Amino acid sequence: MFDIAQNNKSNTFDAVVIGSGISGGWAAKELTQNGLKTLLLDRGRMVRHGDYPTANLDPWDMEHRGKTPPEEIKRDYPKQSRFPGNVRQETKHWFVKDPEHPYLEDRRFDWIRGNHVGGRSITWGRQCYRWSDLDFEANIREGVAIDWPIRYKDIKPWYDYVESYVGISGRREGLHHLPDGEFLKPMDLNVAELQFRDRIHQIYDDRMVTNARIANLSEPKDRGACQYRNRCKRGCPYGGYFSSVSSTIPDAERTGKLTIRPHSIAHSVIYDPNTGKASGVRVIDAETKEEMVFNARIIFVNASTLGSTQILMNSTSTSFPEGMGNTNGVLGKYLMDHHFLISGSGEVDGLEDYYYKGRRPGGTYMPRFRNIDAESGMKNFTRGYGLQGGGGRGTGWKQNIAELNYGKKSKEDLFKPGGPWRYGMIAFGECLPYEDNRVYQDPNAVDQWGIPLLRFDAGWKENELEMRKDMRIQIPEMLENAGLKNIQFNDQMSYPGQGIHEMGTARMGRNPKTSILNKWNQIHDVPNVFVTDGACMTSAGCQNPSITYMALTARACDHAISELNRQNL
């Protein structure tokens, strides 16, 4: 059982963790397992492993067969629905209702999120790719923004550590720029993916296709193995994938050191000028609006990239009138995301004799191949993109649906596997850190708890747009070169935030004059406050970022504990 912290009673902890998503769950686990009495706060409702109301529903079990009517979307989810498929019946309860949690846009920004214990670790895409020094050294090499204060060697042991716990299926490939991890056996590729992979390997010296590296268990650990239902985003009753709710939070609770307090809006972190440290967190009960303070020796801010920055901005004091640690005006700037939504697919010939069993939760990954060495250097843009892909085969009825026939004659084939296998892929590209891509507090508007609303002003620039030109050429060309037929190409604009990989706004760096956090994710000026979610990122890479947040969190926790032991905090 968890106990809800009561106001004015047990208000003092060794540590407070704000946010229970993928990084906050890790902070709670690491801190409690090292003996710290820890309070874990979340804005939203309690969710325990197994509280997945739609996990076993088939389309016919759901209202409107799972679709959500446009009227409801317009009323409750006008912004959350900007990411396709989010607010269907089976997942809409994992996303905020926009009118209850508003934000403002100078330019369109898709802030997609859910308020509940576990956060977006329940709905995440589960793709896990390590960074390498190609990424950590990119800024300094190119003179972009500022240098990362860490290198691959600093984070490598922590990737090892978190991956062993998370359970990631993947294939070791020995790539320098996409290092191998502690993988479980890879999930098999299907016949279409294998054919595409083999042809790419025959034709291209500079690119390769590997199995998606994904936080789904290809073999049982202490959680159940993946059942190949591909209903991950509803929450998995088997524990087949990693989330805070299935993994880190239950382990934190087993220590007896954890207190979870849901419905808790972190208003601000309180600064004590006498000690030069933070003394605690000011919290508003989301339901009663009651205000309370929780004191702690260390504070981990893991409220998500923009949630954490919002809290720091609201943590004003005489010492920090512009927000905690923000003596240099960097807070809120250098906002990044991955740009995507350029994709293509085609028919793979000669596989009519094959079908499949199971609905695998991941497919293929083509690691970045641009600007990784002298030969792959591009004139028009720096950095690069990776491609997620997958193959599959349809059914007779879907194949027949647009045909001008009807009746008995064609009916029996509708129940059979139908049409050719198809393979498709979609690119995720790196976005550079720009000072004027930013989020700030609106001076006039507040939410229902009196906290100033965030206002977004960010957009892609030349480097991203030039990179997209290359995606547009490469995707159809690779599909064609691999022998695929009837290629369909999809080129949609992608808006910042829509990748749901928002990063930056409280970046790490070596110099307190140009960064908010140091190399251990501590606020330079307030060393007992750690920010270890996406807010800390100094550049964006093109890899899905969550595994890096987890590694940075475990690393920062280890540092916090040794500093506490040395009486330095």
Partner 1 sequence: MDRRKAIKHTTLLLGTALSGGTMAGLMAGCKAEIKLGWEPSFFNSKEAQTLESLVDTILPKTETPAASEVGVPAYIDDIIGHFWKAEDQKQFQNDLTKVNKRAHNLFGAPYAELSTAEQNKIMDHLVEKARSAGTENQPFFLQLKELTYSGYFTSEFIGEEVLAYDPVPGTYIGDLPIEDVDQAWSL
Residues in contact with partner 1 by CB under 8 A are 56, 58-61, 64-65, 67, 69-71, 187-191, 193-194, 227-229, 352-360, 395-398, 400-402, 404-408, 411-412, 414-418
Count of Cβ atoms closer than 10 Å to residue 14 Cβ: 18
Indicate the residue among 405 and 567 with the shorter CB distance to partner 1: 405
Query: Based on C-alpha coordinates, what's the Rg of the chain?
Result: 24
**Smallest distance, partner 1 to C-beta of residue 392, A:** 9
Q: Is 485 helix (H, G, I), strand (E, B) or coil?
A: strand
d(CA 536, CA 442): 22
Strands 291-301, 277-285: pairing kind? antiparallel
- C-alpha distance across the termini of the chain, in Å: 31
Indicate the residue among 187 and 341 with the shorter CB distance to partner 1: 187
Q: Is 265 helix (H, G, I), strand (E, B) or coil?
A: strand
Indicate the residue among 90 and 470 with the shorter CB distance to partner 1: 90
**Smallest distance, partner 1 to C-beta of residue 411, A:** 6
**Smallest distance, partner 1 to C-beta of residue 356, A:** 5
**Smallest distance, partner 1 to C-beta of residue 402, A:** 6
d(CA 554, CA 471): 35
**Smallest distance, partner 1 to C-beta of residue 406, A:** 5
Secondary structure in 3-state letters for 11-46: CEEEEEEECCCHHHHHHHHHHHHCCCCEEEECCCEC
Indicate the residue among 352 and 436 with the shorter CB distance to partner 1: 352
* Residue among 508, 498, 426, 502 nearest 146 (CA): 508
User: Contact at 8 Å (CB) between 455 and 309?
Assistant: no
User: Contact at 8 Å (CB) between 9 and 39?
Assistant: no
**Smallest distance, partner 1 to C-beta of residue 416, A:** 6
**Smallest distance, partner 1 to C-beta of residue 87, A:** 14
Residues 6+ apart with CB under 8 A from 261: 4, 5, 39, 40, 41, 42, 283
**Cα 272 vs. chain centroid, distance in angstroms?**
33
Both tokens of 128, joined, read 């896990």
Please name the helix (run of DSSP H) or strand (run of DSSP E) that holds residue 13, with its range, or none. strand 12-18
Measured in degrees and rounded to the nearest 5, phi and psi for residue 486 equal: 45, 55
Count of Cβ atoms closer than 10 Å to residue 415 Cβ: 10
Measured in degrees and rounded to the nearest 5, phi and psi for residue 490 equal: -125, 120
**Smallest distance, partner 1 to C-beta of residue 393, A:** 9
Residue given tokens 């997958």 in the structure block: 390
DSSP summary character for residue 220: -
Indicate the residue among 60 and 153 with the shorter CB distance to partner 1: 60
Indicate the residue among 191 and 531 with the shorter CB distance to partner 1: 191
Indicate the residue among 357 and 379 with the shorter CB distance to partner 1: 357
Cα distances from 1 to residues 118, 161, 229, 431, in angstroms, run 17, 28, 30, 43
Indicate the residue among 67 and 141 with the shorter CB distance to partner 1: 67
**Smallest distance, partner 1 to C-beta of residue 390, A:** 10
**Smallest distance, partner 1 to C-beta of residue 423, A:** 12
Q: Is 136 helix (H, G, I), strand (E, B) or coil?
A: helix
Indicate the residue among 354 and 449 with the shorter CB distance to partner 1: 354
On the CB side of 416, CA atoms within 13 Å amount to 10
Indicate the residue among 235 and 323 with the shorter CB distance to partner 1: 235
Both tokens of 506, joined, read 């409280």
**Smallest distance, partner 1 to C-beta of residue 506, A:** 40
**Smallest distance, partner 1 to C-beta of residue 78, A:** 17
Indicate the residue among 395 and 488 with the shorter CB distance to partner 1: 395
* Residue among 429, 401, 566 nearest 496 (CA): 429
d(CA 40, CA 37): 10
Residues 6+ apart with CB under 8 A from 331: 309, 312, 313, 322, 323, 325, 505, 506, 516
**Smallest distance, partner 1 to C-beta of residue 61, A:** 8
d(CA 449, CA 454): 13
DSSP summary character for residue 458: -
Indicate the residue among 357 and 566 with the shorter CB distance to partner 1: 357
Cα distances from 563 to residues 271, 558, 560, in angstroms, run 19, 9, 5
Indicate the residue among 355 and 449 with the shorter CB distance to partner 1: 355
**Smallest distance, partner 1 to C-beta of residue 404, A:** 5
Indicate the residue among 408 and 566 with the shorter CB distance to partner 1: 408
